[in-house]
């Protein structure tokens, strides 16, 4: 059998039903096609005995590979052909040496990956093969049955899926004895999924016969092997609850709840045993098809919050659009709660949380709302402390996050939770009630929520609901934040009580109207860090970080919060404190009444320890920003971006462009909104006597400390056109011993700078006085740095970059501020031994304001524009001080590349125009000699995303003259180009313009052409082809690289390129290079016998394909006027397969066109 893969031929696949847009170049499609075709060639016209001999000889040449291919070929033959299935199956049994395990694994692969593309005949053949495997007692048969059960979709009444269900129940009925006696988990899987299918088939009368067959089968199996039910656990009761209207299941329910349970199984003690048994995860997976599971996993782990709508719309259209698919929401909710348990990294990222997905599922269907709520709260009903808290976390978070924007969602869930104990049976009602209270107790202990009072005592609840909540959970309505609810215990050995089975009302909790669910802003004081719900072993109060939850879409317009200025924020060594304004000075005096100790001399080794210390005793007044001001343009911006660019969204390394026009704090997450009133974060203010009040406020304030001190970034900016800055007044009083530490002169200059914060001349006088200081150690740097940080605050909160007018005058005026005066002093210092005092102060301020880094880069670039060249070594010194390492390197430290990239990303968020301005500096030869920025895919992408047409022209001009170097002219550029394949079109366009401007040799990146697709990588393919067009004389290597990439939609490009070369270059040399790619037989020499010729290689077939494409576009091309080409084609034709002889028949039949000179000689 030929192992070599030849180019794909456009024809109908032998096994799969492919649409015209589906590629047939996938590994499975290609392998099944090739193995089946080779099998038919091998056994054509042979008797069964001859076939077996052929199989044996073929397998003997390469047992592992040929056995695999032969098995796949026979499997495809059984699935495709209408007759001969017994013969093919006998062939498999004859040469199989592993008890048909390889044969079963191949069929499992087709079932799991391609069953949706099989015809009904092929599906029926799969069930026939499964019967044969069960009869042969093959070990992998249970996996095959599980895959067939799983691929029989739930919530789908299409004819194809009903055909699957009918074949499945017939298979199970025929193999019932094997199913009863098996010791694998296939028994519980069958019961669970057949009951789930009965729920789908219980409605339409057309499925009455199918439902009857399924019901009889599963009930008889349950009664005969009730041990399977004990393995299923609590979800069996949930399915039984839905099926109580079916008469057969009502009788079964009486036996399970009321009658003697021992008659079902000696091990069965009562319904409380089932309710306490956790359902295995694999059963929830078996309710979803493989494709559905991949999509819901991607939605829960790979989609950012705010971008989920289009994915949800696609999922709804694909799986939830039909009326019969409503019950599928219950399966999805159970799967999300019990199977998808994100790691702490995902919980702290921008990925959409589980509660938001469940909220979307709950509010998009009103027909099965009770079933969905039961699926959500099922793990609450018999919760034990040994259970995983991640199972109950989504429900409480959904109630907590919906309390403001969607109180009706929280109210409906609370109503269900109160009535849950009476839904099943009075025999287990007390167990359910205790399980719910245990869940609430565990939620508080593990700090999933800080308090339950805002949920249970919300004033928006209906009076009847409040009364029901108070009756069901009085301890949680009366408890304060510092009081824990009573510990709940349960005696699991309590004997069941015999009572009658009450009627079940399935539609008891149905809603009257559907809700369009949009997750609201989280209650930051209410919700603790989600990672605590997963990895917490103690009940110590936890202070959530500023990344406790992903950034979320903005709250609705009716979300209001009152802000006052009754408090200010104070930061100490370990926590942030809230103190009244009238006690502000007292606290400051107490914080600064310290005894001065001698400090070491400031050196490059000592300063990093200083700049990494926390600020002590600093009191700041932060912006007065209302929480009800929301982002109204983000959705519009996303829709506009989607309409103009259909490329894959950029990776997380590229900052998200935000447009928050009417906001007082950047971004849509409440973490970015800053307020002076901490109590406004809690809709229900805590008592002033509460012991946890300070801890909750501290937790809320620590989330916002990046807007105040060391974590301060450009995220405290607000957009107007691009960026608008809120007014920030930082009243940070000076230490009371400033005169003792610094002297009267420096103290007075600092006071003058704080009073007149726009006068840069004060910095020169201040630096002159500092140079005269005899002692300049840690305490002096701390004191002066704190004072300068207060004075420079305006430079970090007002517009600096003149985006509207970037002439020389405007740029010079933009750096005429005290902060940039300090930069000038730092970069003009000549201290070579120790760190200069201005540089030490600048590095200290860089530890206070994170945006210092990109402002320093901007200063250097403006100085460069003004004709002043700063020493790059000073810039490296500044970064070594700001981000200290063990030793001061001569080049960019490897662990500091992220800091430099972070500065550029912050500059991009601040204003892309500023980043485009500094690009000539970043990619200058002075910078690239010190810092590794060339061919850095993340930095280059940031640069390309910041370019506009004008700045792109400037950067191209610098690249053409050799002033800048964005990419290296070596093979490392291939990694950069591969990374750029997922970039938006504009960014790829800019990159290829830069590559052309730097005149990068095409040989350095030509090898990547073979792996490119014209449809998926159109920008790269077109750019490479345009650069290939410029080659004057393509050599053999270039021609081979181009033709070897033939395929994947590039046929038109390659044919056009060869035709162009034939017109513009030496056509004889071109044809010689093309002919050299065709495999030719060896010339027979004297004394040599005729050797057998090997079949043509894939490169030869690609060469023939390129020539055929040229012929179709125009047979008069100069290439076909060369006799050498046709001489080679005449030799190659006998070596081709019959398929390709037919495909290239017209090409082989062509004759060379005589040139004018030869025609004249012939006439003469």
* Residue 1083 scores a pLDDT above 70: no
Structural contact between residues 1124 and 1116, judged by C-beta atoms closer than 8 angstroms = no
Of 674, 578, 580, which is closest to residue 626 (Cα–Cα)?
Answer: 674
Stretch 346-361: mean pLDDT? 92
Distance in angstroms (rounded) separating the CA atoms of residues 1028 and 1020: 12
Report percent pLDDT > 90 for the chain.
20
Minimum mean pLDDT range among 501-510, 1118-1127, 1146-1155: 501-510
Please tell me the predicted confidence (pLDDT) of residue 884: 63
Highest mean pLDDT among 173-177, 678-682, 725-729, 1097-1101: 173-177
* Residue 1126 CA: distances (Å) to CA of 476, 543, 900, 1073, 1074: 91, 80, 60, 14, 12
Mean pLDDT over all residues of the chain? Answer: 72
Buried b (16+ CB within 10 A) or exposed e, 315-329: beeebbeeebbbbbb
Distance in angstroms (rounded) separating the CA atoms of residues 1103 and 1042: 10
- Cβ neighbours of residue 1164 closer than 8 Å, sequence gap 6 or more: none
Structural contact between residues 915 and 940, judged by C-beta atoms closer than 8 angstroms = no
Q: Binning pLDDT at 50, 70 and 90, where does residue 756 land? A: low
Highest mean pLDDT among 6-20, 151-165, 995-1009, 1080-1094: 151-165
Residue with tokens 């099926």: 243
Please tell me the predicted confidence (pLDDT) of residue 457: 86
**Angle at the Cα of 69 from the Cα atoms of 63 and 70, rounded to 5 degrees:** 80
Sign of CA dihedral 1147, 1149, 1153, 1158: positive
Distance in angstroms (rounded) separating the CA atoms of residues 882 and 853: 9
* Residue 1154 scores a pLDDT above 70: no
Please tell me the predicted confidence (pLDDT) of residue 566: 29
Distance in angstroms (rounded) separating the CA atoms of residues 819 and 845: 10
CB count in 10 Å sphere of residue 93: 13
* Residue 565 scores a pLDDT above 60: no
- Cβ neighbours of residue 632 closer than 8 Å, sequence gap 6 or more: 554, 661, 662
Please tell me the predicted confidence (pLDDT) of residue 148: 95
φ, ψ for residue 717, nearest 5 deg = -95, 155
Structural contact between residues 198 and 246, judged by C-beta atoms closer than 8 angstroms = yes
Token pair in block for residue 28: 């499975």
Please tell me the predicted confidence (pLDDT) of residue 1071: 85
Residue with tokens 């792109």: 952
Please tell me the predicted confidence (pLDDT) of residue 177: 92
Please tell me the predicted confidence (pLDDT) of residue 226: 92
Report percent pLDDT > 70 for the chain.
68
Please tell me the predicted confidence (pLDDT) of residue 204: 64
* Residue 848 CA: distances (Å) to CA of 534, 595, 614, 706, 797: 34, 24, 9, 10, 14
Q: DSSP state, 964?
A: B
Residue with tokens 């869940």: 439
pLDDT in tens, 307-320: 899 999 999 999 99
Could you tell me which residue, 31 or 487, shows the higher pLDDT? Answer: 31
* Residue 390 scores a pLDDT above 50: yes
* Residue 15 CA: distances (Å) to CA of 24, 37, 38, 76, 122: 11, 11, 14, 7, 8
* Residue 147 scores a pLDDT above 70: yes
Distance in angstroms (rounded) separating the CA atoms of residues 972 and 949: 27
Stretch 355-372: mean pLDDT? 87
Distance in angstroms (rounded) separating the CA atoms of residues 1093 and 533: 69
* Residue 740 scores a pLDDT above 80: no
Q: DSSP state, 570?
A: E
* Residue 531 scores a pLDDT above 50: no
Please tell me the predicted confidence (pLDDT) of residue 20: 56
Helices (H), 277-368: 281-286, 290-301, 309-319, 328-338, 344-347, 354-362
Burial class (CB in 10 A: 0-12, 13-18, 19+), 121: exposed
Residue with tokens 């159970």: 334
Q: Binning pLDDT at 50, 70 and 90, where does residue 737 land? A: low
Q: 3-class DSSP state for residue 474?
A: helix
CB count in 10 Å sphere of residue 227: 14
- Sheet of 567-571, strands arranged across: 576-580, 567-571, 618-620
Q: 3-class DSSP state for residue 953?
A: helix
Please tell me the predicted confidence (pLDDT) of residue 570: 29
pTM of the complete model:
0.48
Q: Binning pLDDT at 50, 70 and 90, where does residue 965 land? A: confident
Q: 3-class DSSP state for residue 428?
A: helix
Minimum mean pLDDT range among 171-180, 567-576, 1094-1103: 567-576
Could you tell me which residue, 607 or 275, shows the higher pLDDT? Answer: 275
* Residue 1000 scores a pLDDT above 70: yes
Q: Binning pLDDT at 50, 70 and 90, where does residue 225 land? A: very high
* Residue 172 scores a pLDDT above 90: yes
Minimum mean pLDDT range among 130-144, 621-635, 763-777: 621-635
Q: Binning pLDDT at 50, 70 and 90, where does residue 25 land? A: low
Of 80, 73, 75, which is closest to residue 38 (Cα–Cα)?
Answer: 73
Please tell me the predicted confidence (pLDDT) of residue 831: 55
Stretch 807-836: mean pLDDT? 78
φ, ψ for residue 1067, nearest 5 deg = -70, -30
Distance in angstroms (rounded) separating the CA atoms of residues 426 and 402: 31
Structural contact between residues 380 and 417, judged by C-beta atoms closer than 8 angstroms = yes
Structural contact between residues 421 and 434, judged by C-beta atoms closer than 8 angstroms = no
Please tell me the predicted confidence (pLDDT) of residue 710: 31
Please tell me the predicted confidence (pLDDT) of residue 229: 93
Long-range contacts (CB closer than 8 Å, 24 or more residues apart) made by 992-995 = 992/1019, 992/1020, 992/1023, 993/952, 993/956, 994/955, 994/956, 994/959, 994/966, 994/967, 995/967, 995/1023, 995/1027
Stretch 397-413: mean pLDDT? 91
Q: 3-class DSSP state for residue 777?
A: strand
* Residue 1159 scores a pLDDT above 90: no
- Cβ neighbours of residue 237 closer than 8 Å, sequence gap 6 or more: 271, 274, 275, 424
Chain centroid offset of residue 61 CA: 46
pLDDT in tens, 72-89: 999 999 999 888 888 899
Q: Which residues pair with 777 in a beta bridge?
A: 601
Q: 3-class DSSP state for residue 697?
A: helix
φ, ψ for residue 601, nearest 5 deg = -65, 140
Stretch 784-788: mean pLDDT? 78
Distance in angstroms (rounded) separating the CA atoms of residues 201 and 216: 14
* Residue 902 scores a pLDDT above 60: yes
Structural contact between residues 399 and 414, judged by C-beta atoms closer than 8 angstroms = yes
Please tell me the predicted confidence (pLDDT) of residue 539: 33
Sign of CA dihedral 247, 252, 257, 260: positive
Stretch 164-189: mean pLDDT? 92
Structural contact between residues 1007 and 972, judged by C-beta atoms closer than 8 angstroms = no
Please tell me the predicted confidence (pLDDT) of residue 599: 36
- To the nearest 10 degrees (0 to 180), the angle between helices 120-135 and 159-174 is 20
Please tell me the predicted confidence (pLDDT) of residue 728: 33
* Residue 431 scores a pLDDT above 50: yes
Please tell me the predicted confidence (pLDDT) of residue 293: 95
């Amino acid at each position: 059998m030929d192992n070599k893969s030849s180019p794909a031929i456009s024809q109908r696949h032998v096994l799969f039903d492919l649409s015209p847009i589906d590629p047939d170049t996938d590994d499975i499609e290609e392998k099944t096609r090739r193995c089946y075709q080779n099998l038919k060639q091998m056994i054509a016209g042979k008797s069964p005995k001859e076939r077996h001999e052929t199989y044996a000889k073929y397998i003997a040449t390469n047992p592992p590979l040929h056995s695999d291919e032969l098995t796949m070929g026979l499997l495809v033959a059984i699935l495709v052909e209408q007759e001969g299935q017994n013969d093919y199956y006998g062939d498999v049994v004859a040469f199989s040496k592993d008890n048909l395990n390889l044969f079963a694994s191949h069929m499992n692969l087709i079932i799991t990956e391609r069953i949706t593309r099989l015809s009904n005949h092929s599906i029926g053949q799969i069930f026939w093969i499964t019967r044969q495997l069960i009869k042969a007692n093959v070990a992998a048969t249970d996996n095959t049955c599980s895959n067939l059960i799983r691929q029989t979709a739930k919530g789908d009444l299409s004819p194809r899926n009903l055909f699957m269900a009918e074949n499945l129940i017939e298979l199970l009925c025929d193999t019932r004895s094997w199913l009863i006696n098996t010791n694998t988990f296939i028994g519980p899987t069958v019961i669970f999924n057949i009951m789930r299918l009965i729920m789908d088939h219980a409605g339409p009368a057309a499925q009455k016969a199918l439902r009857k067959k399924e019901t009889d089968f599963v009930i008889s199996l349950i009664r005969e092997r009730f041990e399977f039910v004990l393995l299923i656990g609590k979800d069996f009761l949930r399915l039984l609850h839905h099926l109580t209207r079916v008469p057969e299941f009502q009788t079964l329910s009486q036996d399970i709840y009321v009658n003697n349970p021992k008659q079902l199984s000696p091990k069965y003690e009562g319904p409380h045993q089932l309710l306490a048994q956790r359902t295995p995860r694999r059963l929830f997976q078996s309710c979803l098809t493989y494709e559905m599971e991949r999509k819901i996993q991607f939605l829960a782990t790979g989609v950012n919050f705010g971008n989920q709508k289009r994915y949800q719309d696609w999922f709804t259209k694909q799986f939830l659009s039909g009326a019969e698919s409503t019950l599928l929401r219950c399966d999805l909710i159970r799967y999300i709660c019990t199977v998808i348990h994100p790691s702490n990294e995902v919980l702290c990222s921008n990925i959409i949380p589980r509660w938001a997905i469940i909220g979307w599922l709950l509010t998009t269907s009103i027909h099965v709302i009770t079933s969905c709520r039961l699926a959500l709260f099922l793990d609450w009903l018999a919760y034990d402390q040994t259970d995983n808290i991640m199972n109950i976390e989504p429900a409480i978070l959904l109630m907590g996050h919906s309390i403001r924007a969607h109180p009706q969602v929280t109210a409906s869930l609370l109503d269900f939770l109160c009535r849950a104990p009476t839904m099943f049976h009075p025999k287990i009602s007390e167990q359910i009630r205790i399980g719910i209270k245990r869940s609430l107790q565990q939620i508080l202990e593990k700090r999933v929520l800080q308090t339950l009072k805002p949920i249970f005592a919300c004033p928006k609840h209906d009076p009847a609901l409040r009364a029901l909540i108070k009756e069901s959970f009085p301890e949680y309505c009366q408890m304060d934040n510092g009081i824990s609810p009573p510990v709940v215990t349960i005696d699991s050995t309590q004997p069941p009580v015999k009572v009658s089975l009450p009627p079940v009302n399935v539609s008891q909790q149905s809603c009257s109207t559907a809700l369009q669910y949009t997750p609201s802003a989280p209650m930051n004081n209410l919700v603790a860090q989600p990672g605590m719900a997963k990895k917490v072993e103690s009940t110590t109060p936890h202070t959530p970080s500023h990344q406790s939850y992903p950034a979320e879409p903005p709250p609705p317009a009716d979300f209001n919060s009152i802000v006052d200025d009754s408090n200010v924020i104070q930061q100490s060594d370990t926590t942030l404190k809230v103190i009244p304004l009238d006690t502000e000075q007292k606290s400051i005096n107490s914080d600064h009444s310290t005894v001065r100790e001698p400090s070491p001399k400031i050196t490059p080794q000592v300063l990093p320890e200083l700049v990494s210390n926390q600020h002590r005793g600093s009191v700041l007044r932060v912006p007065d920003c209302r929480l009800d001001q929301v982002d109204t343009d983000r959705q519009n911006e996303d829709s506009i971006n989607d309409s103009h660019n259909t490329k894959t969204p950029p990776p997380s390394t590229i900052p998200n462009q935000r447009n928050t026009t009417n906001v007082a704090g950047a971004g849509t997450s409440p973490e970015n909104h800053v307020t002076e009133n901490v109590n406004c974060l809690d809709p229900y203010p805590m008592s002033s006597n509460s012991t946890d009040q300070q801890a909750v406020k501290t937790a809320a304030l620590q989330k916002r400390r990046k807007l105040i001190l060391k974590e301060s970034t450009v995220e405290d900016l607000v957009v107007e056109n691009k960026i608008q800055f809120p007014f920030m007044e930082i009243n940070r009083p000076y230490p009371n011993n400033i005169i003792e530490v610094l002297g009267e002169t420096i103290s007075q200059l600092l006071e003058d700078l704080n009073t007149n914060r726009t006068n840069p001349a004060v910095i020169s006088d201040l630096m002159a006085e500092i140079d005269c200081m005899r002692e300049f150690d840690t305490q002096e740097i701390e004191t002066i740095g704190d004072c300068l940080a207060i004075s420079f605050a305006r430079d970090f909160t007002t517009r600096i970059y003149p985006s509207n007018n970037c002439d020389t005058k405007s740029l010079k005026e933009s750096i005429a501020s005290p902060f940039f005066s300090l930069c000038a002093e730092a970069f003009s210092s000549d201290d070579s031994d120790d760190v200069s005092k201005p540089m030490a102060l600048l590095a200290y301020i860089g530890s206070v304001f994170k945006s210092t880094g990109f402002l320093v880069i901007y200063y250097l670039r403006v100085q460069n524009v003004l004709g002043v060249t700063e020493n790059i070594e000073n810039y490296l010194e500044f970064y070594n001080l700001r981000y200290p390492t063990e030793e001061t390197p001569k080049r960019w430290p490897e662990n500091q590349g992220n800091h430099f990239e972070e500065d550029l990303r912050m500059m991009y968020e601040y204003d892309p125009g500023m980043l485009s301005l500094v690009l000539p500096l970043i990619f200058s030869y002075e910078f690239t000699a010190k810092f590794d920025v060339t061919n850095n895919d993340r930095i280059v992408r940031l640069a390309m995303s910041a370019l506009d047409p004008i700045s792109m022209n400037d950067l191209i001009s610098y690249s053409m003259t050799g002033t800048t170097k964005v990419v290296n002219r070596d093979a490392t550029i291939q990694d950069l180009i591969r990374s750029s394949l997922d970039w938006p079109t504009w960014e790829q366009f800019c990159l290829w313009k830069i590559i052309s401007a730097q005149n990068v040799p095409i040989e350095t990146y030509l090898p990547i052409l073979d792996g490119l697709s014209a449809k998926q990588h159109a920008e790269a393919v077109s750019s490479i082809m345009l650069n290939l067009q410029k080659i004057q004389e393509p050599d053999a290597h270039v021609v081979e690289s181009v033709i070897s990439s033939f395929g994947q939609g590039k046929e038109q490009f390659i044919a056009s390129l060869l035709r162009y070369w034939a017109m513009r270059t030496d056509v004889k040399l071109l044809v010689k290079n093309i002919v050299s790619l065709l495999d030719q037989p060896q010339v027979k020499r004297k004394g040599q016998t005729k050797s057998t010729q090997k079949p043509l290689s894939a490169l030869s077939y690609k060469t023939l394909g390129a020539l055929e494409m040229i012929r179709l576009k125009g047979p008069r091309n100069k290439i076909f006027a060369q006799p050498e080409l046709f001489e080679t084609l005449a030799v190659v034709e006998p070596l081709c397969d019959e398929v390709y002889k037919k495909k290239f028949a017209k090409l082989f039949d062509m004759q060379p066109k005589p040139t004018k000179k030869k025609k004249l000689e012939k006439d003469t």
